[in-house]
Structure formats: structure tokens, C-alpha cells
Amino acid sequence: MDLKPANPNERRQYYREEWDVKNVPDFILKSLIQREFGFDHMGRGPNDRYRVFKNTDFLRKFMRYRAPFAAYSSVAFYHKPRRRDGWIKAELVFDVDAKDIPIRSCGCENVCEVCLNQAKDIVHGLVDTLKGDLGLSHIHVVYSGRGYHIRILDDLVMGADSDVRTQVVKYLVGSDVPRSEYSSHGMKYNLEHFTIPFGYPQVFTHRVKQALLAVNMDTEIDGVNKNILKAVIKHRDLLKDDQWGIFRKNIGPVRYNKLVKGIASLNLTLVDAKVSIDLKRILRLPSSLHSGVSMISTEIKNLETFDPFQDAVPKFVYERNE
């Protein structure tokens, strides 16, 4: 499918014929009056900021008549959203952009089915950790048009400051190599991350596995040369059965350490950390049109079965005369 931009007529058609204010997820509608809205009318960035809608009808009318190039709403809840003042709390969000995945198996210029699928796999892993390790449950996953947004509305984390969010990002993406030296009663022991089937070491193991299965000979990882990459590609099938010990032995322990260190530093770009730590960010409004690629930003009910090329394509795309 050709991901070309939507023209103004197509935008108008979408907002008049297809879009319904009811398609905006409840988690946004419920807090409508506390959120700031922002719009991009010309495709040059969201310059029309500080918008507030008293009710869904005002939002409906605005969208229908202005048919914006892009629509955004704040992750933050404010007492005075019109002035972005009186910050109450903010969703904890993670932005996985298919274009920015650090190790992409496709090598395409923009986004394609392959990297979008890869982004979906990453989102799967992140959501598992958010639930299983961090015990969060009010999690919404939204297809953004070029990737995915994970939006968390558990009260326990919505008041967290940027520093706490930074720590969550690092845990989630696996940006630190877990220590391998442990001591007990004066004795030192070696425990590699893959021998620990829980907690952060397990998260790290999952992220490293995902990365190693995606590398190719063109992948650039700090401190990792072509020989190491070659060895990874040769032996990585072992990881499918979680035979990490043999894999590490085949790569060589010193080279293995370099490899995981390089991947840990790349992992920090699995999500756009700036988005996660910004307490006043605006994010693309689910249900709105991503005019750059003519896709609908869609809240996902079932990540397993979601296919953006089936479930997020506006009608006008099918009506185009190629």
C-alpha cells in the first residue's frame, strides 16, 4: 500500500463522512475539559495550540469544519488547560516509531509493513513488562500512523515526575546491562542476565533477543565489528530455543560483553524518551487522520490481530484513482 499524503479534499471527506467524535477513545473524552488540544492545519507542525473544548460537540464541529492536517491532545490534565497551567497529572506514554527502531530488519526509507510489524512486536514486549513487572493495568495502545503509542492512565504513575519516568523508560527498554557479579557471604558468583528468569535481567534478555534476531550485516552497533555480527547471524538460531549459554560461548565471552553493551545503548532509542519524560506533551489524537501517510490513528483493542493496513486505512485511500 502506498503511504502517500492526504490532500485537503481527502481530509475534508474523512472528517465529514468517516470520522465520528464517538471514535475518540473514552479515556480522552472523559477528561476532555482538562486537556489542551493542538492542531496542525498546514502540515508544518502543531502551531495552533492552547485549544480547549468544553464538550464533545465543540470538538466534533471543529474537526468537521477545519479538517486539520493533524490533531493532538495533551497527555497532561490541567486545571487551566487554555493556559497550560495548573498541571494535575499526565499519562505515562511510550512512543514507538517504526522509522526510528534502532535495529530495523527491513532497511526501508520511511515505514513499511515489515518495520511496522517489528514495532508491534516491540510494543508487545513493552506492554508485557508494564503489566508483569510494573503492575500497571490501565494501558491503551494506539496506532499512531507510523508506529504505536502506549498510553498509561494508572493513577499510581500519572503524578510521577520526569526523573521517575526516565527510570521507567530505562527499565522498560533495557538500557543498562544488568550486573553479572553477585556476592553472598563473602563469596563472589557470576550470574549472566539470561540465567535469571525474572525481574529486570529477564526484561533485558528479551530486548537483547529481539535485537539480535533483527540484526543484519549492515547494522551498526557501538563496539561491534563485522566479525561479531557475522558470528551473531551464524549462531542466533540458538536463541530461538533460549540456548544463551551456548550462544555466548560461540560468540566468545569478551565479544559477547561488547555485543550486549552495544545493544543496551541502542535500546534507549527503542522508544522516543523525550516523549515519555515530557509532562506537557501533546500526542496525536486517536481517531484523527495522519495526513502525512493517509492512515487513521486508531486505538487498538486487540494487538494480536491488529493490522494497520486493514484496520487503519481511511475509505478515500481505496477510492483514489491511481
Partner 1 sequence: MFFIETEYFCSGKFFLITRNIIVFMVSISFLNPLSPEGKDIVRELGSLEGISEDIPQLRSIVTHNPSQEILDDGEIPSNFLELALKRIEWHIKKKHDREFNGRRYAYLSDDKITKYDVISFYLLCQAIGVKFGPNSRETRVMVESQGDLINERLGKLHADEGRSMVEKSLQMLLADDQVHWTFFEELLSSRKIRLTDLVLDQGELILDQEDFLERFGPKIKHRNPMSMYQLLIGDELKELIMIKLIMQETEDYIKQVHEKAEKMVEPNPILLELAEQVSEVLSEPMQSYGYGSGRGGGGPLKAGPLNNLAFPPCVKKALEGIKSGGRNDAIVLFMTPFVSYARLYPDVFRMNITKRVSDQDPNLEITENEVLPLIYEAAQRCVPPLFDDQPQEKVNINAKLGFGMHSSLNMNHEGETTWYTPMSCEKIKLHLPHLCKPDDVCKKIGNPLSYYNRRIWEVNNLETEGPETPENGDSDNSNKIEASEVQKGTGEDNKSNESTDTTGGSA
Catalytic residues: 95, 97, 272
- Beta-bridge mates of residue 96: 148
Based on the shown chain and the rule CB under 8 A, indicate whether residue 136 belongs to the binding site for partner 1: yes
- Please name the helix (run of DSSP H) or strand (run of DSSP E) that holds residue 239, with its range, or none: helix 237-240
Residues in the chain, overall count:
322
**For residues 149 and 191, what is the distance between their CA atoms, to the nearest angstrom?**
34
Task: Give the count of beta carbons closer than 10 Å to the beta carbon of residue 315.
Answer: 11
DSSP 25: -
Comparing CB distances to partner 1, the nearer of 20 and 220 is: 220
The answer to whether 244 contacts partner 1 (rule: CB under 8 A) is no
For partner 1, the binding residue among 52, 108, 268, 313 (CB under 8 A) is 268
* Count of CB atoms situated within 10 Å of the CB of 249: 13
Our finding on whether 231 is near partner 1 (CB under 8 A) is no
142, 299 Cβ separation under 8 angstroms: yes
Binding residue count for partner 1, defined by CB under 8 A: 63
Query: By C-alpha distance, which of 48, 37, 46 is closest to 76?
Result: 37
Contacting residue, 44, 135, 304, 319, with partner 1 by CB under 8 A: 135
* Lookup result for grid cell 555485543: 259
User: Given the complex with partner 1, which of 166 and 233 has the nearer CB atom?
Assistant: 166
Which one of residues 109, 183, 227, 241 is an interface residue with partner 1 (CB under 8 A)?
183
Distance of CA 125 to the CA centre of its chain: 11
Does position 72 interact with partner 1 (CB under 8 A)? The reply is yes
- Applying CB under 8 A, among 81, 178, 286, 314 the residue interacting with partner 1 is 178
Nearer to partner 1, 100 or 233 (CB): 100
Among 63, 259, 275, 317, binds partner 1 (CB under 8 A): 275
Instruction: Give which of 62, 60, 18, 3 is closest to 316, Cα–Cα.
Output: 18
Q: How many CB atoms sit inside 10 A of residue 158's CB?
A: 18
DSSP state of 22: G
Strand partners, 90: 76
C-alpha cell at 235: 549462531
90 counts as binding partner 1 under rule CB under 8 A:
no
Among the residue ranges 38-46, 117-125, 207-215, 230-238, the one whose residues contact partner 1 (CB under 8 A): 38-46
Pick one of 292, 303, 311, 313: the residue that binds partner 1 (CB under 8 A): 292
CA 276 to chain centre: 10
Closer residue to partner 1 in complex, CB, 8/159: 159
Pairwise CA distance, residues 198 & 273, whole Å: 24
Select 133 or 233, whichever has its Cβ closest to partner 1: 133
Does residue 45 belong to the site contacting partner 1 (CB under 8 A)?
Answer: yes
Q: Which of 28, 169, 229, 289 binds partner 1 (CB under 8 A)?
A: 169
- Applying CB under 8 A, among 13, 31, 118, 144 the residue interacting with partner 1 is 144
Question: How far is residue 317's CA from residue 265's CA, in Å, rounded to a whole number?
Answer: 39
Cell 539470561 belongs to 194
Residue nearer to partner 1 on the CB measure, 42 or 156 = 156
Examine residue 95 and tell whether it contacts partner 1 (CB under 8 A): yes
Tell me which residues in 149-168 interact with partner 1 (CB under 8 A). 149, 156-157, 160-161, 163-164, 166-168
Q: Is residue 219 helix, strand or coil?
A: coil
Residues near partner 1 (CB under 8 A): 38, 40, 45-46, 49, 70, 72, 95, 97, 132-136, 144-147, 149, 156-157, 160-161, 163-164, 166-171, 175-176, 178, 182-185, 189, 191, 195-200, 222, 265, 268-269, 272-275, 277-278, 280-284, 290, 292
